[in-house]
Structure 1
Amino acid sequence: MILRTRFTKVGYLKYLSHLDMVRLFTRTFSKAGIPIKFSEGFNPHPKFSIGNPLPLGTESMAEYMDVELAERMNPETFIERMNNALPEGIQIIGCKTVERRASLTSIIAWSHYEIRFVSEKLDEDIYFEGALTRWNRLSQVNITKKKKKGKKKVERQLDIKPLIGNITYKGKDSEGFHVLSALLKSGESGNLKPIELVEAMERELELSIDLDMVMIKRLDVFADEDGEIKELA
């Protein structure tokens, strides 16, 4: 059977790399007594996959993992055993059985983020709302993407506007941070990192954002079925 799980990655564990996450879950399956299925061959490994890893330093309430088990297990039992063995910042918050299907990486197409930042210039909500209106009127916003090709790094210009579903300004929070809600492409059909969006907005709108103080949290992820954004099945 296959269990699709949703888990958090918050606190200091937001700095855990994808490889470290794989190692953590591999140890946790054993510690929690999870009957995980192993691959065949000379070097067998547990059969699980984590979808769309985040950049280091990004918190998340919506990490997903598919786990293939060698025997049936109640999802509630899986959650309880895993959470008793996992550190506080990484906890399973959802679990359900799914049929064998395409990989998580191929299914996830959009990510919903909360972006918090400070600015010397933005003391009033109306200022940023006006800036966001100017942003929405831009027909094209290019950023420079670097890609390694052999031993060389190749630069290319990428228009990020098609990678943005929507951006909403939510005002200031209780700590004085300005808050953006952003739906961004996040998958094989395109990917825009939240910090790339913030850097582009700073460049285009001159908002005096302190880029060292930007705080990002992924709130949810979605699939894209024939142009329609849907929750993961």
Structure 2
Amino acid sequence: MARQRTPEGPPPPPAVQKLRIRYAKRGRLRFSSTRDFSRALERALRRAGVPMAFSAGFHPHPLISYANAAPTGTASEAEYLEIRLAERVAPEAVRDALDEALPDGLDVLEVREAAPGALADRLEASEWEVRLRGVRPPQVEPALAAYLALERAETTRVVKSGPRTFDTREPVLDLRVAGVGEDGCAILRMVVRHTTPSVRPDDILTALRAVTGLAPPVPPLVTRLAQGPLRPDRAGVADPLATDEEVVGPEG
């Protein structure tokens, strides 16, 4: 029987601190994929001198956990990840150094000590802004009303296992015209509960087109404004980096 190899050298230092990070994807960087971002992040962590904790084994890697990344091509003000450090560092220092080391358009907005529990469990829903370029509010409001009146609105998307048909209507908690752009286009606001498979704004727009014929002449501009725990009124989301007391408030 062949002898099992063991990694040479001492094991890496243990993690002593876990930080949660909120960052934004803006401008042209909205087209960066999760893999693109992970490479940029690891380079930035090295340049910023962040004392990362590493996994053990033959191929150590920095201990980074990503949570519910937005689709490629979608801008976001609310992307989240966790890092584990081998030395304690002030979260503000990590925020400033990491933001400086990342390219413009990948912007670190907030760094906090991790609260108890899993970050992914706190990301229950997302709030989205969708700018329907070339579509005026009077054109879209009847379509939204027709969609919201449905019990189901299915669409089909190709996933890793092949084409999959799923309902887009049930996860939609709020869908309305929230404003008008400088060019007169309708600006939609959506609150969508996270499900498996995830229901994305483009899925909802595809279902809208199938049900009502609404078809913007150019691709919409989509931005995730927030993601986190659902508020009690289910009309928005709270800050996932806040404590439960901060989310609910002192009166509960």
Alignment of 1:64-143 (within 5 A): 64-99=80-115, 101-102=117-118, 104-119=119-134, 122-123=135-136, 125-143=137-155
Alignment correspondent of 1:193: 200
The residue that corresponds to 1:48 in the other structure is 64
Of 165, 177, 188, which residue of structure 1 is paired with 2:185? 177
Amino acid at match of 1:231: D
Q: Deviations over 1:113-132 (max 9, x none)?
A: 1011124xx54x34432332
User: What code does the residue aligned with 1:214 have?
Assistant: P
**Structure with the larger strand share:** 1
CA contact (8 A) 1:8 1:92 kept: yes
Contact kept, 8 Å, 1:111 with 1:186, in 2: the verdict is: yes
Q: Deviations over 1:13-57 (max 9, x none)?
A: 111111111111111111001011111111110011121122111
Work out the CA distance in 2 between the residues paired with 1:169 and 1:132. Answer: 9
The one-letter code matched in structure 2 to 1:182 is M
SS, match of residue 162 in structure 1: coil
CA distance in 1, matches of 2:99, 2:156: 41
Q: Distance in 2 between matches of 1:225 and 1:183?
A: 11
Give the TM-score normalised by structure 1: 0.86
**CA distance in structure 1 between the aligned counterparts of 2:178 and 2:140, rounded to whole angstroms:** 10
Residues in 2 aligned to 1:93 and 1:142: alpha-carbon distance in whole angstroms: 36
Q: Supply the distance in 2 between the matched residues of 1:220 and 1:60 (Cα, whole angstroms).
A: 8
The higher-RCO structure (CA 8 Å, 6+ apart) is 1
2:225 pairs with 1:219: yes
Please give the alpha-carbon distance, in whole angstroms, between the structure 1 residues aligned to 2:152 and 2:116.
40
Residue 110 of structure 1 and its aligned partner are, at CA, apart by 1.0
Distance in 2, Cα, partners of 1:147 & 1:213: 21
Kindly state the Cα deviation for residue 204 of structure 1 after the two structures are TM-superposed: 1.0
TM-score (normalizing by structure 2)? 0.80
Gaps of 5+ in 2: 1-16, 243-252
2-side partners of 1:53 and 1:219: how far apart? Answer: 13
Structure-2 separation of matches of 1:176 and 1:225: 31
**1:85-106, CA deviations, whole angstroms, 9 ceiling, x for partnerless residues?**
111101111111014532x344
* One-letter amino acid matched to 2:150: L
Contact 1:184 1:191 in 2 (8 A): no
Find the partner of 1:3 among 19, 28, 47: 19
Runs of 4+ displaced beyond 6 Å: 225-228
Aligned 8 A contact 2:27 2:75 in 1:
yes
Larger Rg: 2
Q: How many residue pairs were aligned?
A: 223
Q: Does the CA-based 8 Å contact 2:147-2:153 persist in structure 1?
A: no
Structure 1: which 5+ residue stretches go unaligned? none
The alpha-carbon deviation at position 108 of structure 1 amounts to 1.7
